[in-house]
């Protein structure tokens, strides 16, 4: 996503150097998705500096850098980067201008040059006036009771992965039609969620309006509801969304009432620019403010927290009224990223349950970046994790293969199991892993995952899941019963693939 960027390097006071970084720097650019603002506050110490780097959708991270004449370089370790690699930045100063770029951008995301201009010698960060007045302090935090929604992981579709900023009224209506005709609705996919870029301007009274892509949100919601589906929408607790459109900062109650009047059933609330107006310890009350606003409308609206797993959100997500919360940064349509996220969920299982779910992000199945076996792994792993199943492909044009993966009712039943227990890893031998979760009928769902580059046999010891040689074993992708060999079961698992079992 196009994200508003703020970098704050808050450093100890120091003598003057060849490059005078001390002060506040600003970058502003207007593009089709809105205004992009960068604010940096620097305070060097001799030829080195340390401090904090933050984006508007992320908390601050420690920076260590050096000054070489008119050049600066620094490294930062982002928590969401599971590879452990440092992200490197470099800058060049000329007078009151500073060019800043990422030194090691990934191949699929070229580095963008930011030209910062020094606007003052003040080393105290102050949010830009465009972001609005500083909010009043929150009252002492108190946990709130569950809202009674999302007793099973939400299932549906989200616009971002396939359509991003191209989503419009016509797209949503076409998706709603396809959800019905394809059998997705009957398989359990209910929510049709509009992600970022629907937002227009506010009127003189502060009421949010949709932009020209969505001429009548109430009529669109009525259409979606007429199909037996529910409508979701997107916003941010900050002044702007990730794509630079109007956020809900200072208008929480107003926006909640508007969405309820439109007929919205689901809200994805993305942190984005909130870092520009809130301190890190205000994240919980900022999210709870919207939860209370939604409840005050009287309309049941599922509340999805999207803040990338920061500050151990799994520990407090339910206390602020969240029904689900992202545990990770954005997914992408690649086996590597899907695997990093999915297999990285070990340890989160104790926080999931009816009404409150860990969310490892949306499904990429059908978008073309993975093989059949990799997409089957994606679906199987998310089902074992009791994760929300939010498809991210073009439903209207999906292939029969994609449809068969997304609508496998035996696999969906694992995800939607009433017991609501998330799977955990019970065995790992190199790149061969076994994950299991207990189900409400006393059986166990078991995934035999092969992360190798070639096929490999994997053996399940039935005792490891509390079963005996008399267990009944069902292969949920082949839709057939299997025979065990005594107290174990062995399957040949394709490269990057899975065998998903129900054992009773």
Say how far apart CA 125 and CA 8 lie, in whole Å: 7
**Catalytic status, residue 461:** no
CA distance 224 to 217: 10
- Phi, psi for residue 103 in degrees, rounded to 5: -80, -30
| Residue 76 to residue 84: CA distance in whole angstroms | 10
In this structure, how many other beta carbons lie within 10 angstroms of the beta carbon of residue 95? 9
402/449 Cα distance (integer angstroms): 20
Angle formed at CA 54 by CA 49 and CA 57, multiple of 5 degrees? 175
Q: What is the pLDDT of residue 5?
A: 38
CB 200 within 8 A of CB 210: yes
Round to whole Å and give the CA distance between 150 and 56: 29
CATH for the 155-415 domain, from 3.20.20.80, 3.20.20.210, 3.20.20.70, 1.10.645.10: 3.20.20.70
**Residue 353, C-beta contacts closer than 8 angstroms, at least 6 positions apart:** 420, 421
196, 270, 361, 417: the active-site residue? 270
- What is residue 351's predicted lDDT score, i.e. its pLDDT? 97
Question: The domain 7-129 is classified under which CATH number: 2.40.128, 3.30.519, 3.30.70, 1.10.150?
Answer: 2.40.128
Domain ranges of the chain: 7-129, 155-415, 424-503
- Name the fold adopted by 424-503: Immunoglobulin-like (2.60.40)
**What DSSP state is assigned to residue 296?**
H
The predicted structure's pLDDT at residue 48: 78
| Catalytic-role residue among 79, 330, 373, 475 | 330
Rounded to an integer, what distance in angstroms lies between the CA atom of residue 445 and that of residue 473? 10
3-state secondary structure 47-69: CEEEEEECCCCCCCEEEEEEEEC
**Does the active-site annotation cover 359?**
no
Beta bridge partner(s), residue 492: 457
The SS3 call for residue 176 is helix
pLDDT < 50 stretches in the chain: 1-17, 33, 55-60, 79-84
pLDDT computed for residue 109 by the predictor: 60
Radius of gyration, alpha carbons of the chain: 24
Helices 252-262 and 283-296 pack at an angle, to 10 degrees, of 40
Among residues 402, 394, 385, the alpha carbon closest in space to that of 338 is found at: 385
Q: What is the predicted pLDDT for the residue at 17?
A: 44
């Amino acid at each position: 996503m196009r994200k508003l960027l703020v970098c704050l390097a808050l450093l100890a006071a120091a003598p003057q150097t060849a490059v005078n970084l001390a002060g506040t720097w600003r970058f502003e650019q207007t593009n089709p998705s809105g205004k992009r603002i960068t604010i940096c506050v620097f305070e060097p110490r001799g030829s080195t500096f340390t401090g904090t780097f933050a984006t508007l959708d992320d908390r601050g991270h420690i920076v260590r850098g050096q000054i070489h004449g008119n050049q600066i370089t620094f490294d930062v370790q982002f928590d969401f980067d599971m590879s452990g690699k440092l992200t490197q930045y470099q800058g060049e100063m000329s007078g009151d201008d500073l060019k800043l770029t990422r030194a090691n951008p990934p191949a699929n995301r070229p580095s963008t040059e930011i030209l910062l201009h020094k606007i003052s010698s003040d080393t105290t960060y102050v949010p830009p006036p465009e972001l609005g007045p500083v909010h009043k302090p929150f009252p002492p935090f108190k946990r709130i009771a569950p809202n009674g929604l999302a007793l099973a992981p939400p299932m549906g579709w989200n616009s971002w992965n396939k359509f991003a900023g191209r989503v419009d009224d016509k797209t949503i209506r076409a998706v709603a039609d396809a959800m019905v005709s394809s059998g997705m609705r009957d398989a359990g996919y209910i929510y049709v969620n509009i992600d970022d870029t629907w937002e227009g301007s506010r009127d003189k009274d502060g009421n949010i309006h949709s932009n020209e892509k969505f001429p009548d949100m109430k009529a669109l919601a009525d259409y979606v509801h007429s199909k037996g589906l529910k409508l979701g929408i997107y916003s941010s607790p900050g002044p702007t969304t990730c794509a630079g459109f109007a956020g809900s900062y200072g208008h929480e109650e107003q926006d909640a009432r508007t969405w309820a009047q439109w007929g919205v059933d689901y809200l994805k609330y993305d942190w984005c620019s909130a870092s520009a107006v809130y301190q890190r310890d205000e994240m919980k009350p900022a999210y709870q403010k919207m939860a209370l606003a939604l409840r005050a409308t009287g309309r049941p609206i599922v509340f999805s927290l999207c803040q990338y797993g920061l500050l151990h959100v799994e520990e407090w997500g339910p206390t602020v009224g969240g029904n689900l919360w992202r545990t990770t940064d954005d997914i992408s349509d690649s086996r590597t990223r899907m695997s990093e996220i999915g297999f990285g969920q070990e340890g989160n299982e104790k926080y999931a349950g009816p009404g409150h779910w860990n969310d490892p992000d949306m499904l990429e199945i059908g978008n073309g970046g993975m093989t059949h076996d990799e997409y089957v792994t994606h679906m199987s792993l998310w089902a074992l994790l009791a994760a929300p199943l939010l498809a991210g492909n073009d439903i209207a044009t999906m292939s029969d293969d994609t449809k068969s993966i997304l609508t496998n009712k035996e696999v969906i039943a694992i995800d939607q199991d009433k017991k609501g227990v998330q799977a955990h890893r019970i065995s790992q031998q190199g790149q061969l892993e076994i994950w299991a979760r207990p189900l409400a009928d006393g059986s166990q769902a078991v995934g035999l995952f092969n992360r190798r580059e070639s096929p490999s046999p994997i053996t399940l010891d039935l005792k490891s899941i509390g079963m005996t040689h008399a267990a009944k074993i069902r292969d949920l992708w082949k839709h057939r019963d299997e025979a065990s060999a005594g107290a174990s079961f062995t399957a040949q698992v394709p490269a990057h693939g899975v065998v998903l079992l129900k054992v009773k």
